[in-house]
Amino acid sequence: MTQPDIRFDHVGVTYPNGFSGLRDITVDIPAGQMIGVVGLSGAGKSTFVRSINGLVPITDGDITVGDKSLRDLSGRRLRELRSGVGMVFQGFNLVGRATVLSNVLMGRLYHTSVWRTLLGAWKKDDVNLALDALARVEILPKAYARASDLSGGQQQRVGIARTLAQRPQIILADEPVASLDPPTSHVVMRDLQKINAELGITVITNLHFLDLARRYSDRLIGLRSGEIVFDGTPADADDAAFESIYGRSLTADDVLDAPGHAAGAHLGPAS
Amino acid sequence: MTQPDIRFDHVGVTYPNGFSGLRDITVDIPAGQMIGVVGLSGAGKSTFVRSINGLVPITDGDITVGDKSLRDLSGRRLRELRSGVGMVFQGFNLVGRATVLSNVLMGRLYHTSVWRTLLGAWKKDDVNLALDALARVEILPKAYARASDLSGGQQQRVGIARTLAQRPQIILADEPVASLDPPTSHVVMRDLQKINAELGITVITNLHFLDLARRYSDRLIGLRSGEIVFDGTPADADDAAFESIYGRSLTADDVLDAPGHAAGAHLGPAS
Amino acid sequence: ASLTLTGCGARETSDASATGASSKVCTGSSDKSAKDPKKLTLALVPSGDAKKLVQTVKPLEKALTKRLGIPVHGVITQDYQAAVEAIGAGQAQIGMLPSLQMSQACDKYGAVPSLQTVRNGKTSYAAQFFTNKPKKYCDDTPKKGPNGLMYCNGTASGNGPAGLDSLTKMKGAKVSLLQAASPAGYIFPVAAMKKAGLDVKKDIDTVQVTANDASVLAVYKGDAEVGTSYWDAREVVKPDTPDVGKKVVVFALTKEVPNDGVSITSKLSPSWQQKISKAMLDYSTTKAGVKALTAIYQITGLKKADPKALKQTQDTAKSIGLG
Amino acid sequence: MSAVTRQAPQAAPPGPAGPGRRPRRVAAKIVWLVITALVVAAVWSVDIKWSELADFPANLWKYLTLMFGPPDLGKLPEAFSATILSVQMAWLGTVIGIIVSFPLSFLAARGVAPAAVRWPMRGLFALIRAVPEVVIAVLILSVTGLTAFTGALALAVGSIGTLGKWGYESFESIDSGPLEATASVGGSPVAQMRWGVWPQAQPEVFAFWLYRFEINVRASAILGLIGAGGIGKMLTDNVQYRIWDGVGMLLIVVIVVTMAIDQLSGMVRHRIIDGTWKLPLLGRRSPTPEAKDTMVVSDND
Amino acid sequence: MSTAAKSAPPAKPPTRWKTAAVLIVIAGITVWSAFGVHVDFAAIVDNWNNASATIASLLQPDYWFIPGTGQAVLETVQMAVIATAVSAAISLPVAFLASRSTNPNNSLLAAVRFIMNIVRSVPDLLYAAVLVSVVGTGAISGIFALILFDFGIIVKLVSEAIDGLDVGPQEAALSAGGSWFKADRVAMLPQVMPSFTSQVLYTFELNIRASTVIGLVGAGGLGMLIDRVRTFYRYHDLSLIILEILVIVVVIEFASSLLRKRLAR
Ligand SMILES: Nc1ncnc2c1ncn2[C@@H]1O[C@H](COP(=O)(O)OP(=O)(O)OP(=O)(O)O)[C@@H](O)[C@H]1O
Ligand SMILES: Nc1ncnc2c1ncn2[C@@H]1O[C@H](COP(=O)(O)OP(=O)(O)OP(=O)(O)O)[C@@H](O)[C@H]1O
Ligand SMILES: [Mg+2]
Ligand SMILES: [Mg+2]
């Protein structure tokens, strides 16, 4: 049972409105790596991970996942590929009105027949798989709660359980810890890290925070304006790397009283 | 022109469903301080700041702002108080379909007559004030854009400009940097700090991240389960303080391979 | 109506018909202080093709305008209640209405039942039952009447009642009826059916139509087996469907229905009521007038209305639980 | 497997380790049972001759060919002017209905007016909806006579009932964030309505206005019966006399005109919501599912 | 924030004239319509109290008439229940086909929307009249007519609600390898249930009210009864019937707001 490698070959993504989301990306992601993708808002992080399961169609070059080329993959064959690629969404993308379990069972959709889907008559095996996934992320007791009743951190873990229930070979996580508090963020990141370590699943994680990315990844990819500006180990990610990724050095920002606030002289409290 | 002090006197907030959001809070906030409020999700941070302008009614004790007691303040008198207290919301609370300028002008509502409000016929002075506020947060060029067309960071700054246009004596900011990337977070926090320093406005900021709170506040207040568990300078906020606020030490979390994930033994990738 | 505004309820004084008119015959009223009208509206409820009515009413409008010296405008409404309410409120001053609505307009709003129409020398007519299955309903073989249309059971004369024995055969059939307010299309036929032991609600299958010739067409086109209308609405349809006289056979006539006529609103002064009545009477004696009136409702003349005769329709309606 | 980390992520109550029992959801089951029983009872008790359905397809085909094979082109001018009159009646009725219902529906919305004002308003809307259009029309007719204006007024009154209801429902379903913002700057109730509620409810309310206009065009058919003219009159004239090809012609005109209106109104609506013009019959959803709105109106607690 | 000089405020975009143009067009259409229907406000001023007597009697229902309405109310409710159930069942899938969010097939989408537009354009009265000719009078054509009105309405309102749903969960289902059908079923259906339920209840109310139209063609129910009492000026009876409809409308309104509150949380 080998995990597939992911290969970007001069990949470009141009959105229908003409905007280039990714430009000429060539990168190799061997199976089993834990990758952190960092960059400013709008740098193309989401576009990068979403192109891997075809949620964003690529317009130039090619991506291969294992031996399958993503170019022109569609219909049943695309769904098959997707069933092997789990995705954890920043906004959780849960059905708030459905139970936690139903949400996790969504990971089994590819393997469920149409009529079972229609009736919501899930296979016993799938239900067990889903319950196991919930146990793994430690929210089994919430299985029959409404997803909308969960706290943010719990919802994010339901998202991860859904991905686990899918039994994927690759997990893509698009900012899985945005708007979680630090302890919960660490829990989620460690979960992903453990899944990577124990099950050998390739994990690609978009992160806003360089420090989290540094701590939990084997390898960092820095994006800026749709191009790769950094690719290396966390140890390599020094201040220069930060500057190339974020467009300016951290140090300058840390200066308390930055100059240049000319305006607003008469903006004082009323009366 | 003196800024008002804020005084919490054995304040308790019980939500209509019986849940205690705040318990027996007694704290003194002298005018002109820059305060960071930290705590886990659900600790009561939002409840704390929202009680200051009466968005959440207090059920025990009393809050005094300057010489006014909040207990039983209502109608025109409550509106008057609110007009002096600016609020920056986590979710921005902008009217997406209105222009940026209209959103900022909403800060002037208290000083605008009914018919001007109805027609949206703002006073020239107010428009200038709003434009100055936009200039101060450096998004003046976007004045006539639809608020929904702005990026998250820009929207947050519109929220701050709205508060500035209000010419408040106190600014309450409920997680103003959640879901912003680090550089933008720093920009927003420095803005608030500058407003505090230059105009002497009291600024109370809820923050998820202890590091941001430490860096930008004169004083930290740590909440847990509706109670104050820490109150001191950022320098005092050591690991023990962290543990009291977040319920566990950071260090234990940082252990890479935390044990204890029993379930999911057969959760491997699909063949 | 009782205007004691109890706000919570009032008993419908159905058999006294609001003003206790069942004992008295309503002759209408007028408003002596009313100013002279500047224009008049004439409301017509079509008993036939409304579109043709629009054309044929033109000469009538013109003649009345000339005689009365103020503009007269004809409006067609498909709804009896609408016409009566319009006259009651003075929104229409003249109404050409069926007998029932003339009595109602008088009872409710004091509208003067002024003239009644004359057709074939009669001020009454029979309502007819017709069918597209003559074999089932005719006891004798259908014969051509003087107008070239087929009749059986002695209905060719047009004088009711006739052939009512055959009504019992209608049990279970589809029957096209007009709205409940139509004397010839509903009230008299249903009263006749009731006498023959048929319950409209249970024993037949109603196809609702809103005009007499539509009823004929419904039977002609097979949408219903039996239909009801005034005698003889088939003539209106004949120009468009020449074989209607063969396919649709009249097999029964009800007792005589008082003719329709002209009501005048009570919101006019007596002199104006007189003036209008006279103008219409006058016109109906001229050659052009006869031609125009015939074109509208096959009217051959007008004469002073007999309120007592008119009331028969109301009484018949009451006999079947209406009114 | 240290105990510390074991409990750490779960500050939650130490509930059962298992998934718990599947909830029974009794209330939902009862509701479904009642609904099913109602439907079954209705089907079982209603007086229907199912046998009549046997020749439904053949009959339908027959009438369709009568109407459209081919429609009576000679009736085109009449059909067109009847439809235009109906559109005029409907437009005027809708405009008057909006002018009256708009302020009233604010008074009926929760959080705006006290219950003593709110409930009578809602009662008024319900009452108007309970009165059949024909009855409304006959009442108005005694004031304005047998004219198309009566038709427009009847539609206006009818519109107040529905528009009022839709209005307060959409005012109540807005996101509370901007409303909170207007409150926190000290805005008066009027200011909160104008800037906290209205901008958010606006697209939905516009949509309802346009939709009601569409309904009014069709509803004007009934008013034709009482002498208001328009498609209703032509419709009954032709249906009564089984002039099916005339009906077909009228139908084509009505469909073309209402579809044109629908497209125009869809365009306007798109403009209000997305800020771009687009014909509703065409066009796909924008490929960015992370709608911008989610940023603006992200929920607050 | 850097040294960027305080930039001048941007020129105000010229939106005023666009707003003015739209307002002028609306005013123009209104004036045109006003001429078309011969607006006569003077008549309202002169005759406004003409209707008062009728309204006064309409305010006093004749409660003794209640038994007389039983059969008709029953018939109306029967027709409304059946029509609502059937139309709810058929319009739900069609609503999914008519929404851009749930139907990825552009041409199918356009076709469905086109047909639904036609279905909605046909006046209620015409459906009723044609159905009476096709199926004959009676409850069955009434039910058919109601189903046709409801179908158009539910599909329109629900597909618009679907357009406004969060497509995130659907995306999640797709990225788990589900087909569009499965994703719509699992991720979109639960989300749209509250608005579907409230629209179905709304059409139920409509069906009760539409009995007037249905009655005009002889399909029975309250509509025929209304016709009967009003043409004989039995306004107290008419008032009672309206009161009965009002009670049904209010009950439905209550049920609807209750359900909405429960489902929408
Ligand atoms: N559907 C689309 N159409 C056009 N442009 C798009 C679309 N989706 C994204 N973009 C643009 O592509 C660029 C990259 O977007 P992407 O979502 O990949 O950024 P990101 O790095 O994930 O940012 P964030 O941290 O804010 O999520 C952005 O400038 C964005 O505006
Ligand atoms: N309207 C309400 N009714 C009942 N309980 C409420 C309400 N609002 C908040 N709570 C509860 O009060 C507690 C404190 O909420 P609060 O919003 O103040 O937390 P917070 O510290 O701001 O959390 P977060 O970081 O997630 O925003 C939470 O447990 C929450 O569930
Ligand atoms: Mg992103
Ligand atoms: Mg909060």
Tokens 């249309």 -> residue: C149
Neighbours of ion ligand 3 (CB under 5 A): A 46
Q: What is the pLDDT of residues B47-101, one digit of tens each?
A: 899 899 888 888 999 998 888 888 877 778 888 888 889 898 877 888 877 889 9
At D299, give phi and psi (nearest 5°).
-75, 155
Indicate yes or no: CB of E172 within 8 angstroms of CB of A102.
Answer: no
The residue type found at C213 is D
Element (H, E) at E131: helix E124-135
The domain in which residue D245 lies consists of: 75-274
Chains with 3 or more CB pairs closer than 8 angstroms to C?
Answer: D, E
For residue D93, tell me if it sits in a domain. Answer: yes
Indicate yes or no: CB of A190 within 8 angstroms of CB of B1.
Answer: no
Nearest CA to ligand 2 atom 6: B15
User: Residue A144: closest CA among chain D residues belongs to which residue?
Assistant: D22
Residues in chain E: 265
Distance from the E4 Cα atom to the nearest Cα atom in chain B, whole angstroms: 8
Cβ neighbour number for residue E201 with a 10 Å cutoff? 19
Q: How far is the CA of D175 from the centre of ligand 4 (A)?
A: 17
- From the CB coordinates, do chains B and C have 3 or more pairs under 8 Å? no
Distance from the A58 Cα atom to the nearest Cα atom in chain B, whole angstroms: 24
Question: How many pairs of residues across D and E have Cβ atoms under 8 Å apart?
Answer: 207
Q: What is the pLDDT of residues D183-206, one digit of tens each?
A: 888 888 888 888 888 888 888 888
Per DSSP bridges, beta strands C174-177 and C205-208 are parallel
**CATH, domain range A6-246:** 3.40.50.300
Residues of E in contact with A68 (CB under 8 A): none
At C150, give phi and psi (nearest 5°).
-90, 135
Rg (chain E; Cα; Å): 25
For residue E48, tell me if it sits in a domain. Answer: no
Indicate yes or no: CB of A144 within 8 angstroms of CB of D17.
Answer: no
Residues of D in contact with B160 (CB under 8 A): none
- The DSSP annotation for chain B comes to -PPPPEEEEEEEEE-TTS-EEEEEEEEEE-TT-EEEEE--TTSSHHHHHHHHTTSS---EEEEEETTEE-TT--HHHHHHHHHTEEEE-TT----TTSBHHHHHHGGGGGGS-HHHHHHT---HHHHHHHHHHHHHTT-GGGTTSBGGGS-HHHHHHHHHHHHHHT--SEEEEESTTTTS-HHHHHHHHHHHHHHHHHH--EEEEEES-HHHHHHH-SEEEEEETTEEEEEE-GGG--HHHHHHHHSS-HHHHH-TT-----S-TT-----
Q: How far is the CA of D299 from the centre of ligand 4 (A)?
A: 10
β-pair partners for B7: B28, B64
Indicate yes or no: CB of A187 within 8 angstroms of CB of D15.
Answer: no
Question: A224-238, B112-126, D114-128: which has the highest mean pLDDT?
Answer: D114-128
Domain count of the fold of chain E: 1
Average pLDDT over residues B5-29: 88
Q: What is the pLDDT of residues D261-295, one digit of tens each?
A: 888 877 777 776 666 666 655 544 443 333 333 33
Indicate yes or no: CB of D177 within 8 angstroms of CB of B166.
Answer: no
> Along the 323 residues of chain C, how does pLDDT read in single tens digits?
344 444 566 776 644 444 444 557 788 888 888 788 888 888 887 655 556 666 778 888 888 899 889 999 888 787 788 888 888 888 889 998 888 889 888 988 889 998 998 887 888 889 999 999 999 999 888 888 888 899 999 888 888 788 888 899 998 898 999 888 888 889 999 999 999 999 888 888 888 777 787 788 889 878 789 999 988 888 878 877 788 889 999 999 999 999 888 999 988 898 999 999 999 888 888 888 888 888 777 788 888 888 888 888 888 988 888 76
Is the CB of D57 within 6 Å of ligand 1? no
- Region of B144 (left: φ > 0; alpha: ψ -120 to 50; beta: rest) is alpha
Q: What is the pLDDT of residues E239-254, one digit of tens each?
A: 899 899 999 889 988 8
Residue E2 has pLDDT above 60, yes or no: no
Residues of B in contact with E23 (CB under 8 A): none
For residue E260, tell me if it sits in a domain. Answer: yes
Is the CB of A17 within 6 Å of ligand 1? yes
Ligand 2 atom nearest to CA at B48:
18
Q: What is the pLDDT of residues A203-225, one digit of tens each?
A: 999 887 777 888 889 999 988 88
Q: How far is the CA of C102 from the centre of ligand 3 (A)?
A: 78
Give the pLDDT score at D295. Answer: 30
Nearest CA to ligand 1 atom 26: A41
Element (H, E) at A231: strand A227-232
Domain count of the fold of chain D: 1
Q: What is the CATH number of the domain that holds E200?
A: 1.10.3720.10
Q: Bigger pLDDT: A56 or A41?
A: A56
State both tokens at A259. 């100059």
For residue D33, tell me if it sits in a domain. Answer: no
* pLDDT tier at A243, thresholds 50, 70, 90: confident
- Whether A3 contacts chain B with CB within 8 A: yes
d(Cα A30, Cα E146) in Å, to the nearest integer? Answer: 62
At D54, give phi and psi (nearest 5°).
-55, -50
User: Residue A134: closest CA among chain D residues belongs to which residue?
Assistant: D19
Q: What is the pLDDT of residues A109-131, one digit of tens each?
A: 888 888 888 888 888 999 999 99
Using CA atoms of D255, D258, D259, D265 in order, give the dihedral in degrees to the nearest 10: -170
The residue type found at A204 is I
d(Cα E56, Cα A165) in Å, to the nearest integer? Answer: 69
Average pLDDT over residues B212-217: 86
Q: Are C291 and C285 in contact (CB under 8 A)?
A: no
Rg (chain D; Cα; Å): 26
Predicted-complex ipTM score: 0.78
Q: What is the CATH number of the domain that holds D261?
A: 1.10.3720.10
Average pLDDT over residues D89-97: 94
Selected residues 173-192 of chain E with any CB under 8 Å from a CB in chain B: none
For residue E58, tell me if it sits in a domain. Answer: no
Domain ranges of chain B: 6-246
Residues of A in contact with B247 (CB under 8 A): 183
Indicate yes or no: CB of E177 within 8 angstroms of CB of A95.
Answer: no
Indicate yes or no: CB of C12 within 8 angstroms of CB of E227.
Answer: no
